[in-house]
Amino acid sequence: MKTHSDFQIRPAHVEDVPIILELIRDLATYERAPHEVSATEEQLVNVLFGARPAAEVLLAFEGKSPVGFAVFFHNFSTWLGRPGLYLEDLFVKPENRGKGYGRALLVELAKIARERGCGRMEWAVLDWNESAIKFYRSLGAKPMDEWTVFRLTRHGIGSLAETNQVDQEQEQD
């Protein structure tokens, strides 16, 4: 647990799920997509605190008020032969920005990555979020301009899973 003055960062617990969902909704609103959040408290309990947790969450508080969070999980680098830490979401409420809370969350993540032997930390940022891009660069992070992120949504996953592998490979040749 990290504290200074009335600011604190700590790992989330199952009883924090309502706070996590609130912060997810706040992030979606900030990213101009509040209608895209379909997560429920029940889903978050299962996926974050069930038998096979898919991600971990750090919560940031100012006093007793939640002001931000970081959602992360491990990926793997075949070239490094080491796990990596992937930051899915970093969010500090707009009214609490400029106080060093985002940096403090990233410092805490860097400590976790170092303790766990991670070879790198990675995350994505929206192209229009100039303030975040400037912030990440100030920390020494480098954009991976030569990489393009691809995504299959739930529908796309289902469609791909139903195809015949051999037929699709021949179409690509």
CA pair distance 105, 108, nearest whole angstrom:
5
Range with the poorest average pLDDT among 28-32, 65-69, 166-170: 166-170
Assess whether 136 carries a catalytic annotation: yes
- 140: confidence class by pLDDT, cuts 50, 70, 90: very high
What ranges make up the beta strands (E) of 6-132?
7-11, 56-62, 65-77, 82-92, 121-123
Q: Residue 3: what pLDDT?
A: 39
Which of 69, 80, 62 has the alpha carbon at shortest distance from 16?
69
Kindly name the residue from 30, 86, 101, 136 that is annotated as catalytic.
136
Range with the poorest average pLDDT among 13-17, 32-36, 169-173: 169-173
Residue 81 host element (H or E): none
Q: Which domains does the chain have, with CATH numbers?
A: 2-147 (3.40.630.30)
Q: Residue 93: what pLDDT?
A: 97
Task: Give the tens place of pLDDT for each residue, 75-121.
Answer: 999 999 999 999 999 999 999 999 999 999 999 999 999 999 999 99
